[in-house]
Each structure stands twice: as C-alpha cells, then as structure tokens.
Amino acid sequence: MADPEIKSYEPYHESQSAAVTESRPARVALMTIAFAFLGIFLLLPLIIVFNEALAKGVGAYTQSLSDPDARSAIRLTLLVAAISVPLNIVFGISAAWAIAKFEFKGKAFLTTLIDLPFSVSPVISGLVYVLLFGAQGLLGGWLKAHGIAILFAVPGIVLATVFVTFPFVARELIPLMQEQGNGDEEAALSLGANGWQTFWYVTLPNVKWGLLYGVLLCNARAMGEFGAVSVVSGHIRGLTNTMPLHVEILYNEYNAVGAFAVASLLAGLALVTLVLKTLLEMRYGAEIAATRGH
Amino acid sequence: MHVAQKWDTGFGITTCIDKKGVCMEVRVANVRKEFDRFPALHDVSLDIKSGELIALLGPSGSGKTTLLRLIAGLERPTRGKIFFGDEDASQKSIQERNVGFVFQHYALFRHMTVADNIGFGLKVRHGPSRPPVQEIRRRASELLDLVQLSGLEKRYPAQLSGGQRQRVALARAMAIEPKVLLLDEPFGALDAQVRRELRRWLREIHDATGHTTVFVTHDQEEALELADRVVVMSQGRIEQVGTADDIYDTPNSPFVYGFIGESSSLPVKVENGEIWLADRPIGLSAPHEPSGDATLFFRPHDVELLDGCSGCIAGTVAASRRVAGTRRVELEIGGERQRVEIELPVDHPAAQKSRVAFRPGRWKLFPAA
C-alpha cells in the first residue's frame, strides 16, 4: 500500500466469456464431484470422529479426556507447540529477511533448503534424529556420557516438530517481503530510526497478517504432527506421548471412545484453524502472500 | 558558510538557520559508483549552494537517482567524497546525515495515520532530543498546515489521493529538520494537472523554508521551471550545470542540445570559417571553428524563412502536422536524404509550398563525433 497506484488488488471478476463457459450439465457434474469428494473424504470422517467420541455419552467423553495419560498428552502437545512455534517465528523472519532484503551467495540454495521438509517424508526426518542422537547414533555416545536425553524424550519431539514445521512462516513471509521491497525501511532509516526501530515499527507491522497466517498453519502442524514425532518419541505413556500418538495407542487398545475423544480435540483445533485462516484470507488476502496449498 | 538565512514560514516554523547547521552546502567531489563492477557514475563533481533548489535531470539510466541516493547515504560511493558543509559525510550513515528524503512512491507507513507518519522521525529519537508526545503531535499539525492538509491527521495513507500522499511524504521528511531535502521523482506518479499544481507549491515551500533541495526528474519542463539550477546527466556523467536559460540557450554538448527542448540537426562541413551543407554554403559563418565535418544544431522554432535561396538551407516538404498554435514541417534536404523539422505559423504560405528555404536563427556547431 506504500504505492497503491502500482499495486492495487482488485477483487476477482466473474468472467463470463462465452468461450470458456461450460454447459450447464458440465458445471453441475463438476460441482457434484467436488462436493461429493469433500463430503466423503472430509465431512464424513469429521462427523464420525465426533459421533464415536460421544457414542457412550458425554460422561464417557469427559472421562476419557480427564484420564491422566490423556491430560499428559495434551500438556506435552501444548508444550511442544509453545516451543516450536516461537522458534519458527524467529527462524522464519530471519530467513525471509535475509532472502527478501539483501543479496548474498547461496540464496537460491537457502530458498530450496527451506522447502526440504515439505518434500521429505516426516518419518525420514524423524529417523535422521534417531541416527544423529540415538544410542548407536553419531552423537549418541557423547550425549549418554553427559546424561543428556534427546531421543525418546521431550527435546527429541521438539526437534522433530521444529524440523517438520520450519517452512511455514518463512514460506509465507518471503514472497510478501520481496514484494514490499526496501522502500519503507529506507524511509524509516532516513528519518533516523535504527535497525530495531525500523523492524518493530515498520517491517513487522507490514507483514503481521502474513506472519499470523504462517503461525496459524505452523501451530496446526506442530500439534498434529504424527510421523516424525512417532519415530523419536518412544511412546512412553504419560511422558513422551503427544495427542496424535495417544490417539493411536488408545485406538490400538480398542478404546474407541478414548481415541476419538482426543481425536475430537485435534479435529476441533483443525476447525478453529480453518475458520481463522478463512477469516484472515478474507480480510487480509492482499497482505498475505500468494503461496497457498499447504 | 553563507550568511545566515532565516525564513519565517508564517506557521511559526523556521527551518533554515545556519547557526544550527540546518542550511547546508553539499559538495560532491569526484564520486564514482559501481554496482557489481558496472559503473553507474563516473567521476562526478557538483557543488550545491546553501538554500538552492537544484534539479538532477536526465534520461533513465543516466545515474541521477544514484547520485541522489549517494548524497542521502542510501548508497556509499565506490570512490570520491561527499561533503555537507566542510564535513566529510561520505562514510556517515543515512541516520547521521540528517537528510529529508522523499521517495518516488512516497513509502508512507501504511499502518500509521498521517500524524504518526509525520511524527515518526521525532518518535524514534533517543533521550533528550526526543520531544514529548504532545510536542510531536503539535509539530505534525504544524507541518500539515504547511503542506495544506490541515485536519487530515487521523487519515491513513490509503485514504489519501496521490497528491496528498506526496505532501504527507514531504511533511514527514521536513519533520526531522533536515539539513538537505532530497526528492526522488517527486511528481512522477501523479497526473499532469496535480503535477503542475504541486510543482508551484513545492517552489513556494522551498522559498518559505529555504532548505537546500535536490530533486530528480526526467521531465525537463519540470526541471527548467522549478529549479534554480539544472544538472543535466547522461550515462553516469554530468553534461552541463546551469540555470534554465544557460541550459536552453547555450547547450554545451550535442546531448544537451538534443535532450533539452526540441532540436534539429544536420551534418555539415566547415571550410575557412564558412558552413557548407553538401555542395553549397548556407550563409552561416563560423570563423572560430576549425575546418572539417561538424553537426549543426538549431531549434525548429528559431528559423528565418527566406524567399530566394542564396545561402540558405532548402528542402522539400515531406510531412506537415499541426501542433497547437503552429505547424510543424518536416523537410527533406538535398541529396543526403536528411530530414529536419522546422516550425511555421499556421497560415504561413510556406507550409503549403513543396519547397521551403530557411536559415537558423540561433544555432550551434559541434565537431562531428
């Protein structure tokens, strides 16, 4: 908006060009397929989650949630998110700043590297930490000698989560900052602001909605991550079980109500995230970078 | 330093006082700037007087914006120095230089109100130099009065027109009591009407506050009308520095002749002080020019039409078009197939004739490159 003459976001126009207007049956067919797909693969499972969770009544539902192991899993999940999301913000802003605002060697490499977690299976990323910190791993002996537990403990879970989530904030901010350029920062500097003041008063407010959007996605992933965490956690009940892992354990024990009760919390989180995400996109679409799809 | 100038803006703001070092001469000494070994400026030197309004004029890629950014401290020179008064400012950061910079697209902070934008430079000061909040607000209002936008304190930049944004950007730059005001294409993004209006307004503000002001433009009309002196730049070099009259009446290079105003040129030959076009003399003498090939420059509107042709330039009308109150005629000259443009009164019979003879009034010769 520093130069709205140039960058004006116009609402999408309904294009009704005859050449690209499908016939009515074609349109109905396309919409039916889309809705049927969403209904079967998304809506139905969601209903089942809540249905199963409440199958034996509200009492059983609340009881499963107040089970000490379930509570511990919820606490651990919140803790992991509370650590990995701020780390992600710091990393994301630093990386986006470096990539968008100045030139250096290896920039393209860094940009590619940031996308790595999206292209690597989470299980592999978990295994990397096992190879690195495990008893037979590269640093395993040293860690054991010094009494530091990373694998099958909270630090390992945090590391795996950070690895899996680190593209979210950076990917959101890089195109946004690149598009905004250095003009506002130069203006702030010319008015006598130092680097930190420029960051707090100018850069951060300019990207706040994009940042919030990235944080939202990052948080959802951090709480819901299964694969990578599963490899490094060791599944110790009450100690290293996060919510997704706890759901699996309960389910394998044929405790459907318990499993779906915890799952309903995750589903609830997903719904809240979805609503917030939609609100953010509606309200600040122009200020959120155009990278969607994760 | 010049004698102290003190100006009262009529708004209680006195901004150009030499004792405080607010008025400032700027000296650019042999500055060279390279970007990735590509030279953007070659050995540029320029003296800007205190309180002067100066324009950097040139086509895109001439290095004018680079020079402005070097003065501001947004870029560091590869070689050479920049002095503010007697002080070497070359290695000072932009914050230390205390310049007011107005960006081409204004770079207003979109999430701040107009008042907060203007007060930003005061808010980020440290310690005792930082005025209290009330004082910052008062100064912002004063500056808004100065730029004739009173009452818009609470608006956001998105709620302003282009011209209003430009004014806010200027007020913001002036809030820090800069030593020098630098404007990058200040009217570039505005439509013609607002442009003319703001041009006059900027001149008034300058006369009222007396800041040493440098602005970049590619619009010669703007430069010639507004500036005390114009610096014409081309390909990273300064071609000519002078008043509008100097630049227009006595251009010192083919580039300036061609770039400023309209011009026509013809390849000619000088022999014993006489100017020849192809095989005939054209009735102009240049006793001090060395013999040899040269290029003759003249203004299309500054020609004398002749009836007979003994010592003139004669050509066939190849094209004719009406330009406002005059008629532009394109003439094909001699066997060389050279075309030149001259201007005729609309009702002049020569415009209808197929053959026209003329002699340039004011003209200049440059040795052929």
Q: What is the pLDDT of residues A230-239, one digit of tens each?
A: 988 888 888 8
The number of folded domains in chain B is 2
Clarify whether residues B210 and B307 are in a common domain.
no
| Domain presence at residue A151 | yes
Clarify whether residues B202 and B326 are in a common domain.
no
| Domain presence at residue A5 | no
pTM: 0.79
Which of A20 and A192 is assigned the larger pLDDT? A192
Clarify whether residues A31 and A140 are in a common domain.
no
- The mean pLDDT of A121-141, rounded to a whole number, is 85
Residues of B with Cβ-Cβ distance to A1 under 8 angstroms = 110, 157-158
Among B229, B257, B285, where does a domain finish? Answer: B257
Clarify whether residues A50 and A65 are in a common domain.
no
Clarify whether residues B186 and B269 are in a common domain.
no
- Expressed as residue numbers, the domain containing B270 is 262-367
- Expressed as residue numbers, the domain containing A27 is 23-54
Residue B346 sits in a domain whose CATH number is: 2.40.50.140
Residue B10 sits in a domain whose CATH number is: 3.40.50.300
| Domain presence at residue A17 | no
The predicted pLDDT at position A103 comes to 82
- Number of Cβ atoms within 10 Å of the Cβ of B135: 12
- The mean pLDDT of A60-84, rounded to a whole number, is 92
Among B242, B257, B272, where does a domain finish? Answer: B257
- The mean pLDDT of A253-279, rounded to a whole number, is 90
Q: Any chain B CB within 8 A of the CB of A189?
A: yes
Q: Using pLDDT thresholds of 50, 70 and 90, give the confidence band for residue A32.
A: very high
* Distance (Å) from the alpha carbon of B296 to chain A's nearest alpha carbon: 43
The predicted pLDDT at position A16 comes to 55
Clarify whether residues B320 and B333 are in a common domain.
yes
What secondary structure does DSSP assign to B213-280, as a single string? Answer: EEEEES-HHHHHHH-SEEEEEETTEEEEEE-HHHHHHS--SHHHHHHSS--EEEEEEEETTEEEETTE
Provide the H-helix boundaries in A134-236.
140-145, 154-165, 167-180, 183-190, 195-198, 204-224, 227-233
User: Over 80: is that where the pLDDT of A30 sits?
Assistant: yes
The interface predicted TM-score of the complex, written ipTM, equals: 0.81
Clarify whether residues A35 and A113 are in a common domain.
no
The predicted pLDDT at position B307 comes to 78
User: Over 70: is that where the pLDDT of A294 sits?
Assistant: no
| Domain presence at residue A4 | no
Write out chain B's pLDDT in tens, 369 residues: 343 444 444 443 444 444 444 568 999 999 999 998 899 999 999 999 999 999 999 999 899 999 999 999 999 999 999 999 888 998 889 999 999 999 999 999 999 999 999 999 999 998 888 999 999 999 999 999 988 899 999 999 999 998 899 999 999 999 998 989 999 998 887 888 888 888 888 898 898 888 899 999 998 989 999 999 999 999 999 999 999 999 999 999 999 999 998 888 888 888 888 888 887 888 888 888 888 889 999 999 898 888 777 778 888 888 888 888 888 888 888 765 788 888 888 877 776 667 888 889 889 988 876
Clarify whether residues A140 and A38 are in a common domain.
no
* Segment 198-237 of chain A within 8 Å of chain B by CB: 201-202, 205-206
Clarify whether residues B236 and B307 are in a common domain.
no
Please give the structure tokens belonging to residue A12. 């999408």
Clarify whether residues B304 and B354 are in a common domain.
yes
CB burial of A82-105 (b: ≥16 within 10 Å; e: otherwise) equals ebbbebbbebbbebbbbbbeeeee
Measured distance CA(B97)–CA(B252) in Å, rounded: 34
Beta bridge partners of B364: B297
* Segment 151-180 of chain B within 8 Å of chain A by CB: 157-158, 162, 172-173, 175-176
- The answer to whether the Cβ–Cβ distance between A201 and B100 falls below 8 Å is no
Measured distance CA(B102)–CA(B184) in Å, rounded: 6
Phi, psi (rounded to 5 degrees) for B269 = -130, 140
User: Over 80: is that where the pLDDT of A288 sits?
Assistant: no
User: Over 80: is that where the pLDDT of A109 sits?
Assistant: yes
Clarify whether residues A130 and A72 are in a common domain.
yes
Clarify whether residues A161 and A284 are in a common domain.
yes
The number of folded domains in chain A is 2
- The answer to whether the Cβ–Cβ distance between B105 and A183 falls below 8 Å is yes
Asked whether B201 and B222 are in contact (CB, 8 A), the reply is no
Measured distance CA(B363)–CA(B24) in Å, rounded: 38
Q: What is the pLDDT of residues A2-28, one digit of tens each?
A: 444 444 444 445 555 667 778 889 999
- The answer to whether the Cβ–Cβ distance between A189 and B172 falls below 8 Å is no
> Which of A66-70, A289-293, B107-111 is least confident?
A289-293
Q: Using pLDDT thresholds of 50, 70 and 90, give the confidence band for residue A129.
A: confident
Identify the CA nearest to B358 among candidates B253, B345, B347, B367. Answer: B345
Burial of B156 (0-12, 13-18, 19+ CB in 10 A): middle
Q: Any chain B CB within 8 A of the CB of A1?
A: yes
